[in-house]
Structure 1
Amino acid sequence: MSVYTTKTSILKTFSGADRERAKVIAANKVRFATPKEKGLAESVRAASEEQNFHLVQEFTYFLKEAELDDEELEEILKDAQKIVHNLTPDFVNVVEALLSLNWRKRSCKTIEAFTEFSIEILVAHNRYLPMGISKFISHWIPNDQDGADWVNGCPSNQIYCELKPIHDVLNRIITAVPMAFDVIVDTISSKFPYFKKPAHVTSGFLFNLLWLLDYKPVFEEIILQLVLQKLLVLDVNAPRDEINLENSCKQMEEAIFHMDDITVSPDTNNSEETVDHPIGQCLDVCLHMLYKYFDKKCSIKSIFTDQERCTANRIFKILLFTFDDVLLPSHNTHHVQFVMFFITSLRQTYYEAFLSSLWQKVQNPNVSAIIRHGAVGYLASFLARAKFVPLCTLQLYLMKLSKWAHSYLDDSDEYSQNCSLKSNLVFFSVCQAIFYLIAFRVKDLTATTNDLLFLQTLQLSRLAMCHFNPLRYCLAAVATAFAGVTRTYQLAYCHTVLERNARRKLATVYGHEKSMPEETLETFFPFDPYLLKMSNKFIENNYLIYQGNADDNVSPEPLRRKRGDSEMVDDDDFIKADKRQKLLELSKSQEFEKHFHFGSSPGFSK
């Protein structure tokens, strides 16, 4: 204790007599100096035969408080191994003390002795399985102060060498005790780090989970589903606007430094840079690890064995099931869903199966409208953004969406008054998906004469002019962009409908100072631009950034951002000025209450 601390301490000072008394009590607490005097075997024998648990209690205190060297610890563990069958649940305290010993940084012989004892005690007495497995998995969680030993989720050589015996023990226990499977799953779930923990803590735990999958693939389904659920918690607590704000602040600081002629070392601008948002940084590192794992397991190699092919297909099926069960019903996600974007980019059969699964949900009337609405959003956003999806697939799903919408119109009553958003949610979602895809992929869909003829077969004018008036419920930028494209290529003329809808909203806007919530289709574009820096290298090569229509000779002019506008028209709105001049004058009527998340952006941004 420092001099300063001694002078300012508020603790009660002890007299010499009190200090000596405390030493005597501490000395009496452990009655033997070494385990050789009255070892574990004698203590257990006395308890079993004479019902005298006093020696066992003393030995337990000894294990908890004595500083044992490698030789003493090795001898105790070997003695314990000899009487392992006598260590019944009556001796749970001493067994817990033995399993809690500090063994990771010991000699190889001591580690081997601990390993052999641990396996034998857990195999012989299933009662100790939860306690023993919990002790082992606790070593998977890095300390908050160990960030230097965990760089981007990868441990240092020393940490790796300390973790290897733990995984070897677990591997042998799982093989010998089948019931350990459920115990390990429960323990992993309960010990998963809190989402506000430092990034190296969560990523270090994830590193060990992926290590477990390498030697025990039987855990793949449960572990991957659990990991995505936990990353989903990180995702919703790292909103896009907060990540953007952190990045903007950093850019401003860097600009100030450059203005002050402060040179930045090239080493500080490395390729492994991540975002500044604490939770976003953790999510970035974890997704980077997952992408790397999936790339290793599922990517097509020059030499691909049948077993590797089965492994890749099994992982994809697990992810597809997890998507349906966890991701699709979730609200306000930003980046975790890109796991599906990445895995489907590895093989053609994967993205075909993903799109087919989404389409089956869209057209299935037994699925809830909310899930069908979400499936439409995923379908449209994926087709718009996935560079690896060929044009023929895009046209195929445009045709399917169009046929479904026209069939919906054929089955409806033209004079029906029930045109509310709630009653026709799926229809409006499908129409907006068609409008969005045509507006976003206009360059590809109008490249040749045959492509234009295909767009004419979609009968877009009928959809836009129908009595349901889907343009009324679409997001403003989607409706405006679609109207501009269809007028340019003489596919439909929608501006009169937009102006009529705008006049209809004027009374609501000026009378109540906001548009009614049911006037706007709450839309989710799950594959909006990816903001995480480190893991983006697995996404960017397959990600399609919007490129303006080549037939437009007028340079784009961004819409002026107003309070409450949707976030899709920020920097690189592709709607040309000559196509929306009239709408700009009426833009007041197209303001929306900002009650939906960033995913409502159609992402017409570079």
Structure 2
Amino acid sequence: MVSLASKPSIPITTGSKPLLKTTMSGTIRKAQDADLDDDLEVPNPKRARVSFNPKVEEKVLEEYVAKGRSLESIRVEVKRAIEAHGKGDSEKYDSIKEVFAQTEGDEREDTGSNDEAKTYLLALTGYASLLNKDCNGLVKPILKCDWMGREEGFVKAYAQFLGNLVSAQGAYVGLVLGTLVDNFTGGMLPLLSLPSSANLDTVRVSSGRLPGCPDVSRDTLSSRVHFALRYLLRLVPSASATLSPILSTKFPFADESKRVHVTYINNLVRLLEYAPELKSDVFALITDRLVKIDVQMQVDLDDVDDEVAGAIVQGLAMNPADQEEEDDDDADDSDDSDAESINSDDESGDQAKRAKEIQESVEKMDAILDRLFAIYDPYFTDPNSIEAANMFETLLGHFANIILPTYRSRHTQFLLFHFAQKSEHLIDQFAGTCVQLAFQPGRPAVLRQSSAAYLASFVARGAHVEPQVVRTVFELIGSNLDHIRTENELTCRGPDLKKYGTFYAMTQALLYIFCFRWRDLIDSSEVFDDEDPTAFIGQDLVWTTGIKETLSRAIYSKLNPLKICSPPIVSEFAKIAHHLRFMYVYPLLETNKRIRLSQFSSAVGNGALRDSGNGASNDSWHQLDAYFPFDPYQLPVSKKWIEDDYVQWQGIPGLNKDESDDDSSGDEEEDEEDENAPEDDDTATDEEAED
């Protein structure tokens, strides 16, 4: 466990090996190695749902005949057909294939075809050992047949056939498991989303309305898939090793609908009930795909103009998309109307289409996260339990290996934000992990900087983060800043993001924490009322020992962090620090306006000084982004999970009055700084204060 009490030099142990793996260890056992025939004897009553007795099935099937022939005669036919096929005579073999072939528009209402298929299926079960790779042409039609929508006896016979097949012919394990997992989406996948090389037959899902069979509900269809999977995994435990990469391969494409994604995830979670050994892989897979959707959604939102973005926001507000996915079994295509709240009649066709696609993406992200919050929540009913500790370790592994290395993940990380605040020791553990990742020597600079941003954002925004944690984190970062500064200040020629990126990221983290949690950094016994505009005016507050000195040394060092840190954050810090009599940095900001960062950048000209000419160089390329991972959460449905955990931006009483006084006296530093600041940053700005 990593906590704030741990020394930063200790390597992080969380996620010591990647959770995302293309394969799992293990091999498929052969039938003779596993004594699988014994597994098919009379089952224990407690396992009756996943075990079969062939003698019982035969007795039942004796009541049926296929075209006036007994089961025994069909067995003889099947064996001879397979043997003849091996010798090049496939006439009888092909006729058996036709029994299981799917026929479009087949309206046969009698039960004869169902009985015939079931009889041949049981006959083939007895000769599964003969179905080698040369019989692939027969096995595939059997796997593709509409088995889930048939009567229960057929479903059991089908599962038993699959069990015998994978036990006797290990080469079919992947094909069988993949065919079952194809049904995890709960319906036909949109063809437009498939690659041109895709086999359309592999995405066909069994119907619950088959001629000659009673209607079967969607829930029952899903249960039958898991019934077969559970049976196979108990019969061949090593099949889990093959199943793990299949789950990854079959995961819906990013542009699939909300319904498809949520249904697939629900089935993955249901799978874990009887295959707990896959828990680590499954949750890592979900997180990995969710992060990809998250990032692409942000890219799409950044690419559209303000009018389209406004329409999307308005559409989300009008349509919270909080309906249950399972409300209507017949509504397979209901996602087509998920984003109809954007009125395409009032916009150009392309613009409306683009807006609708983005809104669907946002709603999909929202629905998936809402489902994940609900999936993880029971594990933290008792945050002090071993169950909670184990699951939080899993989440920390996802954070270190998946979320943190992903550039600009926007919402996925709120799973950590929410569940870390379930208890003080989980807060300490997450903050400690961020400290370790930020300070650990040898880690890539970009990951250390990102870790500092996560740490600052969590401490600043976490409503349940206690003041003592805020002070501890502030002191830890400050101590590290002092170390970096003393190592580099003598040789430093000026501000350089490429060279001292970690130093600037940590300084910006402190500025951000100060803007949000300055009240927790006061070491005064006197309590001030935020609602009283005069409470802080003219007061010399007593601050926690060392924080003012640490920040002052960093800010006024040769590394000059206020020139590199994001202008909106620097501006906000300058206003608050001045108002609270903590620090007055406006003269330095004025001086920094005359510095061109390209003069010192080691990214250009190997760090040589350059003539800045007319100042055409854009300093924003040499400054930090105002990226803090726990900035306001905007997804309308899943937002409910973090509302009580979140610190909104609060204006400081009396600060606006001070700004007006400064303007009237001719102090224009802030106005000039705002002119140079990016307009699209939403970190700790007035925009949040309006909420």
Fold-level match, TM-score > 0.5? yes
Distance 2:130 2:510 in 1: 72
The 5 A counterparts of 1:555-574 are none
The question of whether the paired residues in 2 share the 8 Å contact of 1:419 and 1:468 is answered with: yes
The 5 A counterparts of 1:94-109 are 94-109=138-153
Seen in structure 2, the aligned counterparts of structure 1 residues 334 and 157 have a Cα distance that, compared at 3 Å, is farther
The 5 A counterparts of 1:403-418 are 403-414=479-490, 416-417=492-493
Aligned to 1:564: none
**Does 2:611 align with 1:525?**
no
The 5 A counterparts of 1:376-455 are 376-414=452-490, 416-417=492-493, 419-446=495-522, 448-449=524-525, 452-455=541-544
Aligned CA-pair RMSD: 3.6
| Per-residue deviation, 1:542 | 0.7
**Does 2:260 align with 1:236?**
no
The 5 A counterparts of 1:505-584 are 505=596, 511-513=614-616, 515-550=618-653, 552=655, 554=657, 582-584=668-670
Aligned residue for 1:237, secondary structure, equals helix
Aligned to 1:56: 93
Aligned to 2:17: none
Aligned residue for 2:595, secondary structure, equals helix
| Per-residue deviation, 1:520 | 0.9
Aligned to 2:273: 214
> Which residue of 63, 73, 82 maps to 2:126?
82
Aligned to 2:263: 204
The 5 A counterparts of 1:222-301 are 222-239=281-298, 240-241=301-302, 248-249=310-311, 277-300=359-382
Letter in 2 for 1:237: Q
Distance 1:98 1:483 in 2: 72
Aligned to 1:260: none
**Does 2:570 align with 1:479?**
yes
Letter in 2 for 1:359: V
Seen in structure 2, the aligned counterparts of structure 1 residues 469 and 208 have a Cα distance that, compared at 3 Å, is same
Aligned residue for 2:493, secondary structure, equals coil
Distance 1:584 1:419 in 2: 21
| Per-residue deviation, 1:539 | 1.4
Deviates more, 1:355-364 or 1:310-319: 310-319
Q: Deviations over 1:232-289 (max 9, x none)?
A: 221112115479866731676899xxxxxxxx9xxx7785599861112111111111
Distance 1:201 1:254 in 2: 20
The question of whether the paired residues in 2 share the 8 Å contact of 1:472 and 1:519 is answered with: no
The question of whether the paired residues in 1 share the 8 Å contact of 2:481 and 2:506 is answered with: yes
The question of whether the paired residues in 1 share the 8 Å contact of 2:568 and 2:677 is answered with: no
Aligned to 1:334: 410
Letter in 1 for 2:227: D
Seen in structure 2, the aligned counterparts of structure 1 residues 556 and 183 have a Cα distance that, compared at 3 Å, is farther
The question of whether the paired residues in 1 share the 8 Å contact of 2:459 and 2:465 is answered with: yes
Seen in structure 2, the aligned counterparts of structure 1 residues 428 and 507 have a Cα distance that, compared at 3 Å, is closer
Aligned to 1:163: 222
Seen in structure 2, the aligned counterparts of structure 1 residues 577 and 369 have a Cα distance that, compared at 3 Å, is farther
Identity %, equivalent residues: 21
> Which residue of 343, 346, 349 maps to 2:422?
346
Seen in structure 2, the aligned counterparts of structure 1 residues 462 and 269 have a Cα distance that, compared at 3 Å, is closer
The question of whether the paired residues in 1 share the 8 Å contact of 2:497 and 2:564 is answered with: yes
Aligned to 2:175: 131
Distance 1:402 1:235 in 2: 33
Q: For structure 2, which runs of at least 5 residues remain unmatched after alignment?
A: 1-65, 107-111, 191-207, 209-214, 325-337, 340-355, 528-540, 600-611
> Which residue of 43, 47, 68 maps to 2:82?
47
Aligned residue for 1:133, secondary structure, equals helix
The question of whether the paired residues in 2 share the 8 Å contact of 1:136 and 1:166 is answered with: yes
The question of whether the paired residues in 2 share the 8 Å contact of 1:484 and 1:579 is answered with: no
Seen in structure 2, the aligned counterparts of structure 1 residues 416 and 249 have a Cα distance that, compared at 3 Å, is closer
Distance 1:581 1:35 in 2: 102
The question of whether the paired residues in 2 share the 8 Å contact of 1:442 and 1:485 is answered with: no
Letter in 1 for 2:99: F
TM-score computed with the length of structure 2 as normaliser: 0.69
Letter in 1 for 2:187: N
**Does 2:502 align with 1:502?**
no
Higher relative contact order (CA 8 A, sep 6+): 2
> Which residue of 189, 200, 224 maps to 2:248?
189
Aligned residue for 1:522, secondary structure, equals coil
